[in-house]
Structure 1
Amino acid sequence: MGSAAELAAAALMVLGFPALMLAALVPSIPAFAAAAAVTYLADHYLHRKGSYLVNRLSKVRAGLSIRFLIRQLLLILLLARLGLADDLIYYGAIACFIAFYGLQAPHGALVTLIRNRRRMPVATRNIDLASRIRIPDAPPRVLLHRSAEKMLHLDLAAVAGILVSASLESAVAGFIGIGVTVGLGLLYVLGLVPYVRGAKIPPNAEKVLAAVDDWLAEYGPETVLYFSGSKDSVYQVNMWLETMEQLDSKPLIILRERAILNNLAPTTVPVICVPGGVHLMNLDLTNVRVALYAANVGKNIHLLRVPTMKHVFIGHGDSDKLASVNPYSKVYDEVWTAGRAGRDRYAIADVGVRDDDIVEVGRPQLAPIQGWSGVPEGRIPTVLYAPTWEGWDGNPGNTSIVLAGENIVERLVKADPPVRVLYKPHPFTGTVSKEAGAAHRRITALVEEAAAERATDGRFTADAAARAAAKAELARIETRLAELSGKSGGNGTGKGDEAEATRDGVVDPAVHEEVARLRGEWNTAYWRSFGSHEHRVITGAEPRLYDCFNVSDAMVSDISSVVSDFIASGKPYAVTDSAELGVEEFKRQNTAVRAAVILSNGATELGGLLDAVRDPAGDPLAEDRGDLKRYLLGPDEPTSIEQFNTAVADLALKADTRNAGQEVPATGADADPEPEPDPEPATVPAHGLTAAGDDLAG
C-alpha cells in the first residue's frame, strides 16, 4: 500500500481528468488550467516518490504517455468549444502535439539503446577493471533519470502558452510555448545521440569478460560466497560479509541479480554480479576450492556443476523451521551448522544428508552479541518483541503477530513494575497475509500510544540536555556518513550507472574502517537520543537486530533464527506457541525453546519471563539456557571465526586431493618412455586359434 499522501495524489490525479473534460466542455479556461495543474503536480509527486501506484495505472491502460495525450486532446477540445477551431492557434496546437509525440519514439529508442549498451555482462565492486578496459563516464544523470517523465513534461510550455493565447485571443503566447516545447524536445533528443556509440559506451561483452578473467587469474580467489535471490532477501548475504572479510583464504562474492548488488552493504571483499548463467559458467574459477551458499535456490546449479571446488551450504540462520532441513541440501558436499543441534535436526528429519557431511562451525555473525549479568542499575528492564513474519504457507505457528501479538504488547506496556518495550517486526511482515499486516499496524499504534502516555507520566524523566546532545551527535554522524558514502564507493548505487559503478566501486579500506566506527558511534548515540524508559517501534535496517539484542534484557519471539541468535546473549526469552501444540509437544518439536518461557496466545505466562529479568539469581532456566547455547551454537572456544576458517581450510584440502586424483599422467612426446617388456616366447594356441578376441595369425 502507498502512503496516505500517495493515495491522495493518485485520487486527485484520477479525478483531475474528468474535471479537465468538464472544463473543456463548459468551456472554462480558468477551471481547465486549475485541473491541469492538479494533474501535473500529482503525476510529478507520484513519480518523485517512486510510488507503486504509477505502475498500477499503467496496468489499467492509464500509463504516463496516455495521461499526457488525454490532457493534450482535451486542450484541443477546449479550443474547439471556445470557437477557435478555425484559428491559427488551433492548427498550431495540433501540429505541435503531433510533432512532440513524433519526438517520443527517437527519444525512447535512444534512452533504451544507451542503457542497453552501457549494461555490461558483469558488474563488479572492489575489482580493478579500469586498468584493463576503458569504461567511459555515464551520461549526465539529468538525461536518463526519469527520462520519459522529463520528456513528456516539456509539453507544459505549449499547454500554458496555448491557454494564455485562448484567454487573450492572441496567438503569440501560444506559438512561443509551442516553439519552446518542440525546441526543448528536439534538443533533448540531440543531447542523447553522442552517448549511443563510440567512446561513450563500454567495451563489448567479450572484452569485459576477458578483463574479469584476467583479474581472476591475477587475484586467485580461493573461497566464494555465492548468492541469488530477490531484493528483499539481500539481508541473507549481508549477514556473511564480515565473515568473508575475516577469512584466511582469498574471498570472492558472486551474485546473480543486479538488485542484490545495488542493495549490498559496503564491504572490502571483491564482488562479481553475473546475471547470465552462461557467463558465470565461462568465468575462470580454477583457483576456487570452496563455494559457500547462503540460500537454496535454483540458480545454485550454475556453480554446483563445477567439480574442482567443494560446495557448502551455510544458510542464513539456524532454527527449527523446515527450511533448516531442506532436502535440497543433499546436493552439497558439506552442510555447516552452528552446533550439535543442526546436526541432530538433519538426523531426525532423515532427508538424505549424511552425518559425515555435517560440520559444526558456530555462528561467526554472533560475535557482536553481548552477554548479560542483569538489568543495569538505575534503568528499568527492556523487553524486545521481535516476531517473525507469516511465511508462505499460512501456518498459524509461523508467527505470533496475528493471534498473540497484541496480547503480548498490551501485557508488557501495562506491566507493574514497568518495563520498556521495543517492537521490531520482521521486514516481510504483511507481505503475504493481510491479517498480519493489520495486526502489525495495531501493535504499532499500541506501542506508540503507550509511549505517549509514558511521556506524560511524572515517574519517568530523561535528561533533556543529554538527549539533545545525542540528537546533535546523530546528525553529525549521519552527515559524515553521507559524505563518506561517496568516497568509499559503497555498493556503487551512488554512481552514474552500473558501468561507472563497476569502474569506480572500489572501497577505500581506511574509509570503510571509519564508516564501521561511525556506525558504532551512531548506534550509541541513537539509544541515548531518547529515554531508556521510552517504548519504541523499530523498523528499517538501523538499528540492527543485534543492536536491539544488546540493549534488551529479555526477548519475546517466534520459532526462527532470531531465537537461536538471541540465545548467544544468555538472556531470558519467551517463545509463543501460536499453533497451540502444548508446552511439551512444542518443546519436543523445537529445540530452541527448551530453555524458554512458553507463551500461549493469551500471553498470560509473561510473568515468568519478567520475574527472571528482575531476579536473575532466582531464574530457574538460567542453567538450561547455558546448556542450550552450547548445543545450538557450539562452544565459545575456539571462536566461531576460528572454527569457520578451519572448516574452510580442511575442505579446500579435500578439493585439492580430489583434483590431484583426477590429473591424467603425462603422455606423448614429452613423457618418459615406458621400458619395453621382455618378449615372451611365441606359442601356438590349441587347434590353431588365437586367444579370445585376438586376430588370426598370418
Structure 2
Amino acid sequence: MAPATRGASLKRRVRSVGGTFIRRMGLLPGGVPDRNGDDARLATQRLDAEVLVFFADTEDGLYQLRQWYAPLAALDARHRIAVVTADSRTAALIRAETGFEVVTVARYATLDGLLARSDVRLVLYVNHNPENFSMLRFASVVHVSLLHGDSDKVVSVSNQAKAYDFSFVAGRAAVDRMARYLPLFDAERRCVVVGRPQLGDALALVADRAEPVPGRRRTVLYAPTWEGAQPSAAYGSVDTIGEALVAALLAEPDLRVVYRPHPLTGVRLASYGEADAAIRRRIDAARAADPGAGHTVSDSGDLMVDMVSADLLVCDVSAVAMDWLVTGRPLVVTEPASTEVVTASTPLLDATARIGTGTVGDVVAVVRSELDDDPRASRRRELAEYYLGDLRPGAATQAFLTACEEAIAAHRAASAD
C-alpha cells in the first residue's frame, strides 16, 4: 500500500474510532442522531411486529411522536407495533414512556434483513425527515404518512407526500389543500380522512370546562411556532413581535398571559432563543410584581390542558390553530414577517383575526374585540369538522384503526396480483 493510501486509511480509522467514542459517550450535539444501534443483535433477529413506526429524529423532535402515543397504543392492541429509531437516547425515552418495542438501527443494511425475516405489513411516519427514505425504499410494506398535525404551513403540501402510499389526514381541508397545491398528486385516492385521534380526552376536557366566572381575569394563550427549517416556512412570531405582543397583554390588569413556546424554539436561529428568553423575563417580572395574576410560562405537559384553560389563543400559522377549533373560542393568528414565507389563502385564515409587525400595537384592541364580541364564532364552528374530521369522542381513533387495517389489506391485495 502506498504511503498516501496508508495515511488516508489511517485517518478514516481514527475518525471512525473517534466518532464511535463520541456516540458512545453521548457527546453529540442535540439534533444529531447518535447511530448507536442495535444492529449486531438485529442481524439475526425477527421483529414480532406487524407495524413499524419509523422515527429518525432525536429527542428534540420527540414531541411529534408523543402526540401519537395513545392512538398507537390502541393500534398495538390489535397489531403489534415496534418503533425504529436512529438514536439510542431517543429510543430509551420512548421505552420509558410507552410499552412499545423500540430498536435503534444505525446501518441501512440492517433494515433489509429485519424486514425479510419479519411479518411487517405497515410502516407509519410522523414527519418528513429525509432519513425516511431509508425505509421508503422497501416495496414489501405499505407506507403511510401521519405527520404530527394539520396546518396551513407549506410543509403540509410537501412534494414528499408522493413518496408514501397513503397520507392519513385530519379532515377534508387537508385533502382539498393537497389537491390544490400539490401538482400530479391524486389527493382523492391517496388521502384518507381519519380525524385527529391525538386529541383523545381533550374533547371531554373541553366539554367539561366550567363557565367563566364573572370578574375573573381572562386567559390569553400565546402559543407560537418555531423558526422553521427553511425561509419559506418561517411562520414564527417570537423574534419579530413576540416580546411586544406579550408586553402589551401583560399591561392589561384583567388579562392573564400563558406563554407556550414551541419545543424547537431557538434550535436553528439564535435570535429566536434570545427573543424567547426576553419573553420569559417579561413574564417572570410580571409574576413577581403581581403573583395573583397567574401569568406563566408553560413549556411541558399536554398543550390541550393549556388550551382548555384559555379564553383566547394567539398563535402563528400552525397545527395549533387547527386544534384550537375544538374549543369554540376566539382565535388570533399572526402574519409572517418575512416575504419569503409561503402563505396560502385558506378558509380558516380568511375567517380569523390577524396581527403582524405593522399591527402588533393594536393587539390589545383586537384581543378585546374577539373576547367581547367574537364576531367569527359561527364560521369557526363550521370549519371545525372541515379541518378536524369527526369530533365525536373516540370516532377519530376508530377511523385511524380502520384506515390502518384497510391499508394493510389493500397492500396485500395489490401484492398478490
Indicate the TM-score class for this superposition, using the shorter chain for normalisation. Answer: 0.7 to 0.9
Q: Equivalent residues in 2 for 1:90-169 (5 A)?
A: 121-122=37-38
Q: Number of matched residues?
A: 375
| Structure 1 position 282, deviation (Å) | 0.7
Unpaired stretches in structure 1, ≥5 consecutive residues: 1-107, 124-204, 461-532, 662-698
3-state DSSP of counterpart to 1:440? helix
3-state DSSP of counterpart to 1:574? strand
8 A contact 2:37–2:86 mirrored in 1: no
| Structure 1 position 314, deviation (Å) | 0.7
Kindly provide the CA deviation profile for residues 178-236 of structure 1, in whole angstroms up to 9, marking residues without a partner as x.
xxxxxxxxxxxxxxxxxxxxxxxxxxx3x6532x31xx3xx3x2222111123311222
Name the counterpart of 1:623: 378
Q: CA, structure 1 residues 347+245, in 2 after alignment: closer, same or farther (shift >3 Å)? A: same
8 A contact 2:284–2:296 mirrored in 1: yes
Kindly provide the CA deviation profile for residues 438-479 of structure 1, in whole angstroms up to 9, marking residues without a partner as x.
222222221122212223xxxx5xxxxxxxxxxxxxxxxxxx
Name the counterpart of 2:10: none
8 A contact 2:240–2:337 mirrored in 1: no
2:123 is equivalent to residue 291 of structure 1: yes
2:259 is matched with which residue: 391, 402, 423? 423
Whole-angstrom CA distance in 1 between matches of 2:127 and 2:232: 22
2:151 is equivalent to residue 323 of structure 1: no
Name the counterpart of 1:128: none
Name the counterpart of 2:191: 358
Q: CA, structure 1 residues 229+594, in 2 after alignment: closer, same or farther (shift >3 Å)? A: same
8 A contact 2:61–2:264 mirrored in 1: no
Q: Equivalent residues in 2 for 1:606-645 (5 A)?
A: 606-613=364-371, 615=372, 618-637=373-392, 639-645=395-401
Name the counterpart of 2:74: 246
8 A contact 1:387–1:401 mirrored in 2: yes
RMSD (Å), alpha carbons: 2.9
1:656 is matched with which residue: 389, 407, 412? 412
1:558 is matched with which residue: 289, 293, 316? 316
Moved over 4 A (4+): 394-397
8 A contact 1:422–1:537 mirrored in 2: yes
2:198 is equivalent to residue 368 of structure 1: no
Identity %: 29
Which amino acid in the other structure matches residue 427 of structure 1?
Answer: P
| Structure 1 position 636, deviation (Å) | 1.7
8 A contact 1:364–1:640 mirrored in 2: yes
3-state DSSP of counterpart to 1:308? coil
2:295 is equivalent to residue 535 of structure 1: yes
8 A contact 1:577–1:598 mirrored in 2: yes
1:268 is matched with which residue: 87, 92, 99? 99
Q: Equivalent residues in 2 for 1:420-499 (5 A)?
A: 420-455=256-291, 460=292
Name the counterpart of 2:3: none
Kindly provide the CA deviation profile for residues 261-316 of structure 1, in whole angstroms up to 9, marking residues without a partner as x.
13335101222222221111111464222211112233323322322321111112
2:219 is equivalent to residue 382 of structure 1: yes
Whole-angstrom CA distance in 2 between matches of 1:257 and 1:238: 16
Q: CA, structure 1 residues 121+423, in 2 after alignment: closer, same or farther (shift >3 Å)? A: closer
8 A contact 1:580–1:600 mirrored in 2: no
Kindly provide the CA deviation profile for residues 593-646 of structure 1, in whole angstroms up to 9, marking residues without a partner as x.
344321133331443433443x4xx42211111111111111224611011011
3-state DSSP of counterpart to 2:239? coil
Whose RCO is larger (CA < 8 A, sep 6+)?
Answer: 2
More strand by share: 2
Normalized against structure 1, the TM-score is what? Answer: 0.50
Whole-angstrom CA distance in 1 between matches of 2:215 and 2:123: 49
Whole-angstrom CA distance in 2 between matches of 1:592 and 1:658: 38
Unpaired stretches in structure 2, ≥5 consecutive residues: 1-16, 26-34
| Structure 1 position 564, deviation (Å) | 1.6
Q: CA, structure 1 residues 308+651, in 2 after alignment: closer, same or farther (shift >3 Å)? A: same
Q: Equivalent residues in 2 for 1:342-353 (5 A)?
A: 342-353=174-185
More helix by share: 1
Name the counterpart of 2:325: 567
| Structure 1 position 395, deviation (Å) | 5.7
8 A contact 1:121–1:279 mirrored in 2: no
3-state DSSP of counterpart to 1:431? coil
| Structure 1 position 394, deviation (Å) | 4.2
Q: CA, structure 1 residues 397+286, in 2 after alignment: closer, same or farther (shift >3 Å)? A: closer
3-state DSSP of counterpart to 1:435? helix
Name the counterpart of 2:251: 414
1:589 is matched with which residue: 345, 368, 380? 345
Which of structures 1 and 2 has the bigger CA Rg?
1
| Structure 1 position 651, deviation (Å) | 0.8
8 A contact 1:431–1:437 mirrored in 2: yes
Whole-angstrom CA distance in 2 between matches of 1:451 and 1:576: 25
Q: CA, structure 1 residues 365+412, in 2 after alignment: closer, same or farther (shift >3 Å)? A: same
Which amino acid in the other structure matches residue 538 of structure 1?
Answer: S
Kindly provide the CA deviation profile for residues 412-432 of structure 1, in whole angstroms up to 9, marking residues without a partner as x.
11225x111111212222233
